[in-house]
Each structure stands twice: as C-alpha cells, then as structure tokens.
Amino acid sequence: MDTVRLGIVGLGNMGKAHLANIRAGKVEGLRVTCLCESVGTLPKLLEGESAYTDVNAMIHSGKIDAILICTPHYSHTSIGIEALKTGLHVLVEKPISVHKADCERLIAAHTDKKKIFAAMFNMRTNAVFKKVKDLIDSGELGEVRRVHWEVTNWFRTNYYYATGGWRGTWKGEGGGVLMNQCPHNLDLFQWLFGMPQRVRGFCQFGRFHEIEVEDDVTAVFQYDNGTTATFVTSTGEAPGRNVLEISAEKGRLTVKDGTHIHFQRNRQPMSEFCMTAEAAFAMPESWHMDIPVDNSGGQHVEILQNFAGAILKGEKLLSPAEEGIRSVELANAILLSTWKDATIELPMAASDYETILKDKSENSTFQKTKVAAKATSDDFAKSFR
Ligand SMILES: NC(=O)c1ccc[n+]([C@@H]2O[C@H](COP(=O)([O-])OP(=O)(O)OC[C@H]3O[C@@H](n4cnc5c(N)ncnc54)[C@H](O)[C@@H]3O)[C@@H](O)[C@H]2O)c1
C-alpha cells in the first residue's frame, strides 16, 4: 500500500479543517475517499468522495483503510470500537472518550496491534513542549519538585456554548473545559510529569456561562515522591494567561503562552545547597537564560502525517490513542473529587465516575435559553480559529 484511503466522520469544524489540510496536499500518503456526516450539509462538501450518513455503512464499505473520528465526544467510543473490530486504522480526535470506563472499552477493542490507533494530541508537536520534555527527560532540570500550570486563556463566550446543541451539557459533551479544551493540557501534563497518585479538584459549574458543566477549575495533584502540582483553568476569564512553571532541583523553568521558555538555572542543586550552605539566609547563585525554540510545530498536519507514516512506513506514533486514557482519568478525577468533596486516589475506579455521570446526563433538567437556541453551527464555523 502506498496510499491510505481515509474516511472522515463528523464534518463540523475539525472534520472540515482536517479535510482541507489533506485536500491541500499537506499530508503525504493520505487520500480521503469517503465522508460521513449525519446532518444534511455533506453534498456541498463533496469533491468526488463517497458520501454516507451512517458511519457503520462507511466503516463496512470496503472503501477505506482508516477512519478519522471528528464527532462529538461520546460517539468516539462506539465508532472507534466498530472501526477497530472491522480492522481499520483509527485516528480519533481528543478526548478519546468521555470517561475512563469508555476509554478502557475502546482500548480493549485494539486487539490487532498491526492496526494503527492514534489520537489527535496535536500539542505534542509544539516545539516548546517538546523542548520542555527534553529538558526534563535529559535531567537538565534535575528532579521536579513543584509544578503550577495556569491555563486560563481558553476564553469562550456564551454564544460559543449556544452553537452546537451538544456543547456545555453532560449528555452531549460529557464535561466542560476539562473535556473540551483541556484534554490537550492534561495530556501534556501527564506526558511531561507522569500521572499523580492523588487528585483534589475544585470545579465551578456554569460560573461564567449558561451551561451545566464546569467552566472554572482549580486542581491539586500529589505525587508519592512529594512533588505537588496545581492546575488552574477556565473558559470565562479574560484576559486569561497560559503560564507553566516548573520548580526543579536545578532551577525554575517558565513557559509562557506555549511560546517562550525561560530558565533560571541554579549553579548548585537547591537541596544540596540547602543542606551544605553555612549561612542562614544564603541563596544559590542562579543565572537567567532564554531557551530558543525554532517553531510552533506541525500541529494537526504533523499528527496526520505521523498517522500515515505509522501505517505506511512503521513510524513510531507521536500520540498513541492508548495514552489518551490518562488525560481523561485526570479530568474525571478532578470532577469526581469536586462532586464527592474528597481526594481521589489514582488509578481511580472507572465505574464510580461512569455511574455519577450517567445520572447527571439522564436526570438533567438543564435547558439552553431561547437566545442561545438562535445560534447555529455556521456561526461557529465563521468564528472558529
Ligand atoms: N484537536 C483540536 O485542536 C480540536 C479542536 C476542536 C475540536 N476538537 C475535537 O473535535 C471533535 C469535533 O469537534 P467539532 O468542534 O468539530 O464539533 P462540531 O459540532 O463542529 O462537529 C461535529 C460534527 O459531527 C457530526 N456528527 C455527530 N454524530 C455523528 C455521527 N454519528 N455520524 C456522522 N456525523 C456525526 C455533527 O453533525 C457535526 O457536524 C471533538 O472531539 C472536539 O473535542 C479538536
């Protein structure tokens, strides 16, 4: 095989964006042969591809080798399982599923390891975060002692939540900022620092918007080695900011807006200095340095290219879908902690969370306002960046 025949399901914002990139020839080895969309907008989009309204018909058509899943969150599990069982390669948008139990079901369906199963964690291609990972993994920072990530620049208007009936609801989206915007950040968090052993979350629901899910979050993560971390996010704070601070033995690394890395490097590791200095108020000598990074990475196109490369040439995946369970578990644990007003030990019980979420979805009395109902997904597409 020298070209992968791809089917895209869900031709909303992301589906269309991926389609445009592939049609523009930005991804070598991928050819879109089929499109599937459940609302009637498909005919306008077609350029010779086979069209489907039923995803199972596309999966079993024999016209695709791989599927790109760009539908709302809950259906990632059912579509992904059917595609994997049918022997397709699968690339699923983030989050891979809404809750840990569904992640486990989806991952369990990946029995044929010759089939490539990847997730769209495009921020892993960001050169800044790749550099931060390199600095941690190579020991340049020394042991990490504390992390603070405040990512409050996910500002969204009430109008945003009004577009697309599934947004801002337990039943449709399965969560708010943690489930829609932050899978990227939580994935990077676990990619850089590993999974914590305990999570305490403080979420506020519909604090800034007419939604029933969380739009304001403060979480504390604890690791067995004593490292602590805070993760703060919101879709209602403006101007927000995106600052990741890592306090490590060899200094303090600050990443601003995902674009700049500053390192205040200790000449001597802090714990060593603390135990050996013979002056009460001494501080380790430190130097300021800006760490250059060359670009922002290939983002979605690089993940698509890597997916094709993994299928055609056996390239190593940048974001295996199996790893997507970790960001979902972090998000679930933060919410579960809030609901239970308790610390959650990881790994957490998947069924516990699933039961509560199901209850919230099925017994919700939340209704979007009339004003909200006027917004359409076309409005969303116009404002999408
Ligand atoms: N990686 C990123 O940077 C990024 C950015 C935005 C959204 N996303 C993710 O992409 C996914 C889609 O988000 P979006 O913003 O494009 O949503 P959207 O609402 O704009 O599009 C979803 C589309 O899927 C269609 N659909 C739903 N169920 C279907 C089914 N069973 N069969 C066929 N079509 C179906 C809907 O009609 C809609 O057109 C979500 O998982 C979201 O989190 C990723």
Q: Are residues 108 and 131 in the same domain?
A: no
Supply the residue whose CA is at minimum distance from atom 40 of ligand 1. 72
4 within 8 A of 315, measured Cβ to Cβ: no
Q: Are residues 111 and 187 in the same domain?
A: no
| Residue 383, domain member (yes or no) | no
Q: Are residues 246 and 353 in the same domain?
A: yes
pLDDT at 1: 83
| Residue 25, domain member (yes or no) | yes
Q: Are residues 306 and 344 in the same domain?
A: no
Q: Is the CB of 100 under 6 A from ligand 1?
A: no
Q: Is the CB of 1 under 6 A from ligand 1?
A: no
pLDDT at 331: 98
Q: Are residues 175 and 282 in the same domain?
A: yes
Probe ligand 1: pick from 38, 97, 182, 383, max atoms within 8 Å of CB? 38
Q: Are residues 211 and 236 in the same domain?
A: yes
Rounded to whole angstroms, the Cα distance separating 175 from 172 reads 8
How far is ligand 1, taken at its centre, from the CA of residue 195, in Å? 28
Domain range enclosing 242: 124-295+327-374
Supply the residue whose CA is at minimum distance from atom 17 of ligand 1. 12
With b for 16 or more beta-carbon neighbours within 10 A and e for fewer, the 180-217 pattern comes to bbbbbbbbbbbbbbebbebbbbebebbbbbebbbbbbb
How far is ligand 1, taken at its centre, from the CA of residue 15, in Å? 7
Q: Three-state SS for 227?
A: coil
How many domains is the chain built from?
2
Probe ligand 1: pick from 19, 90, 93, 106, max atoms within 8 Å of CB? 93
Structure-block tokens of residue 79: 């579509």
Q: Is the CB of 158 under 6 A from ligand 1?
A: no
How far is ligand 1, taken at its centre, from the CA of residue 10, in Å? 5
Q: Are residues 104 and 136 in the same domain?
A: no
Q: Torsion over CA of 212, 121, 196 and 270, rounded to 10 degrees?
A: -120
Q: Are residues 285 and 136 in the same domain?
A: yes
Q: Are residues 216 and 358 in the same domain?
A: yes
Rounded to whole angstroms, the Cα distance separating 147 from 276 reads 25
CATH of the domain at 255: 3.30.360.10
Pairing assessment for the beta strands 198-205 and 251-256 based on DSSP bridges: unpaired
Atom of ligand 1 nearest to the CA of 17: 16
Residue whose token pair is 């591809």: 49
How far is ligand 1, taken at its centre, from the CA of residue 70, in Å? 4
Q: Count how many residues are written for the chain.
A: 385
Q: Are residues 212 and 145 in the same domain?
A: yes
**pLDDT digit of tens for each residue in the chain (385 aa)?**
899 999 999 999 999 999 999 999 999 999 999 999 998 889 899 999 999 999 999 999 999 999 999 999 999 999 999 999 999 999 999 999 999 999 999 999 999 999 999 999 999 999 999 999 999 999 999 999 999 999 999 999 999 998 777 889 999 999 999 999 999 999 999 999 999 999 999 999 999 999 999 999 999 999 999 999 999 999 999 999 999 999 999 999 999 987 899 999 999 999 999 999 999 999 999 999 999 887 778 999 999 999 999 999 999 999 999 999 999 999 999 999 999 999 999 999 999 999 999 999 999 998 876 445 555 555 544 444 3
Q: Is the CB of 71 under 6 A from ligand 1?
A: yes
Q: Are residues 134 and 23 in the same domain?
A: no
Closest alpha carbon to 192 in 240, 262, 121: 121
CATH of the domain at 23: 3.40.50.720
pLDDT at 385: 32
| Residue 79, domain member (yes or no) | yes
Residue 38 CB partners (closer than 8 Å, separation 6+):
53
Q: Are residues 343 and 197 in the same domain?
A: yes
| Residue 365, domain member (yes or no) | yes
pLDDT at 373: 54
pLDDT at 372: 55
| Residue 234, domain member (yes or no) | yes
| Residue 43, domain member (yes or no) | yes
Atom of ligand 1 nearest to the CA of 36: 33
